[in-house]
């Protein structure tokens, strides 16, 4: 199997234990990539959903087994629990099968840039604690996810690529876009205030790479609707990838040296 090698990979909002988790695409992505550092940026296991209605197909177990195998095989794996797997925050400073648990951490890129990493629920400006679709209600969110499953089941039978319906909806709802922009501004401001060059997070299920007042905002997206991961290349450049059996680039931030800035010592 041909694998892509990255210096670091950041994934979040997998929501294992729910019917909308795209564990099939995530497992395929993990098996086609290798990295030195893997950051699990929260909401990997949806303990809230499991408490309401237990759901754990074998495929979800295989994703966990793959993560544990990566940790055993030399990848340094760090788990930063989010709001849906918040009980795991009590394990801060401990390790599970070689996977370190932290509330938040930092990462230094190959080009010297320092990134603050946390799930991101602390930046939720309205303390919504779920996703941008809370405005439409929990039922509307479930309906959209159900429609997404049905549409993409048909597209698979027709040999068509995965189409995340929610990314189309988000771009057309003004209130959601306002929420996302406020979230991004708060996240970047926190990183800037603490002396970091950027913030990596998830939480809102909307992957994005952009600069906010001189600070990088890097959201790795999710594995429910969009199937995205943030990756760091060997030179320190950062890229948001969508995966549906193959990688498609959704944006890239060049390394400092490529931007004409001083390279790291």
Q: What is the pLDDT, as a whole number, of residue 153?
A: 61
Torsion of CA 13, 17, 21, 23, to 10 degrees: 100
Q: What's the CA gap between 183 and 189, in Å, rounded?
A: 10
Read off the pLDDT band of 23 (50, 70, 90). Answer: very high
Choose among 30, 34, 32: nearest CA to 2: 32
CA distances from 128 to 134, 207, 235 (A): 7, 18, 37
Q: Report the pLDDT value the prediction gives residue 245, as an integer from 0 to 100.
A: 85
What pLDDT digit, counting tens, does each position of 151-165 carry?
A: 656 665 666 555 555
**Residue 163 DSSP label:** -
Nearest-angstrom CA–CA distance, 26 and 159: 19
Residue 82: the pLDDT is 95
Q: In this predicted model, what pLDDT tens digit does every residue of 79-115 receive, in sequence order?
A: 999 999 999 999 999 999 999 999 999 999 999 999 9
Instruction: Give the tokens for residue 195.
Output: 């002396």
User: pLDDT over 90 for what percent of the chain?
Assistant: 69
**Any bridge partners for residue 101, and if so which?**
79
Going 188 to 208 to 27 to 45, the CA torsion angle's sign is positive
Cα separation values, 47 from 83, 93, 166, 213, 218, Å: 9, 20, 23, 36, 25
Selected residue with higher pLDDT from 146 and 13: 13
At 178, the pLDDT band (50, 70, 90 cuts) reads: confident
- The tokens 């550092």 sit on which residue? 37
Q: How does residue 3 score in pLDDT terms, banded at 50, 70 and 90?
A: confident
pLDDT of residue 132: 45
Quickly state the pLDDT bin for 225 (edges 50, 70, 90).
confident
Q: What is the pLDDT of residues 179-192, one digit of tens each?
A: 888 899 999 999 99
> What domains appear along the chain, each with residue ranges and CATH number?
4-255 (3.60.21.10)
The confidence band for 170, taking pLDDT boundaries of 50, 70 and 90, is low
- Residue 201 tokens read as 């997070």
39-53, 100-114, 124-138, 233-247: which range is least confident on average?
A: 124-138
Most confidently predicted of 121-125, 141-145, 187-191, 253-257: 187-191
> In degrees rounded to 5, what are phi and psi of residue 162?
-60, 135
Q: Model confidence over 141-153: pLDDT tens digits?
A: 556 566 666 665 6
Q: Residue 261 above 80 pLDDT?
A: no
Confidence at residue 214, expressed as pLDDT on a 0 to 100 scale: 94
pLDDT for residue 125: 61
Q: What is d(CA 240, CA 233) in angstroms, rounded to the nearest whole number?
A: 11
Q: What is the mean pLDDT of the chain?
A: 86
Label residue 240 by pLDDT band (50, 70, 90): very high
């Amino acid at each position: 199997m041909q694998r892509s090698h990255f210096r670091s990979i950041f994934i979040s909002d997998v929501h294992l234990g729910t019917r909308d988790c795209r564990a099939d695409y995530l497992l395929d992505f993990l098996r086609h990539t290798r990295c030195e550092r893997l950051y699990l940026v929260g909401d990997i296991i949806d303990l809230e959903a499991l408490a309401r209605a237990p759901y754990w197909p074998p495929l979800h177990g295989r994703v966990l087994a793959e993560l544990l195998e990566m940790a055993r095989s030399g990848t340094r794996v760090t788990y930063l629990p989010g709001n849906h797997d918040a009980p795991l925050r009590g394990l801060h400073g401990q390790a599970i099968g070689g996977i370190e648990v932290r509330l938040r951490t930092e990462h230094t890129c190959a080009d010297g840039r320092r990134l603050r990493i946390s799930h991101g629920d602390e930046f939720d400006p309205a303390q919504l604690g779920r996703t941008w679709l809370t405005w439409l209600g929990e039922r509307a969110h479930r309906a959209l996810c159900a429609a997404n499953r049905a549409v993409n089941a048909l597209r698979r039978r027709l040999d068509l690529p995965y189409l995340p319906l929610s990314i189309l909806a988000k771009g057309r709802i003004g209130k959601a876009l306002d929420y996302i922009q406020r979230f991004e501004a708060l996240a970047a401001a926190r990183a800037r205030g603490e002396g970091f060059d950027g913030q990596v997070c998830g939480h809102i299920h909307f992957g994005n790479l952009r600069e906010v007042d001189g600070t990088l905002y890097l959201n790795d997206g999710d594995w429910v609707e969009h199937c995205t991961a943030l990756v760091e290349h060997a030179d320190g450049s950062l890229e948001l990838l969508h995966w549906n059996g193959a990688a498609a680039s959704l944006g890239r931030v060049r390394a400092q040296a490529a931007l004409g800035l001083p390279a790291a010592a």
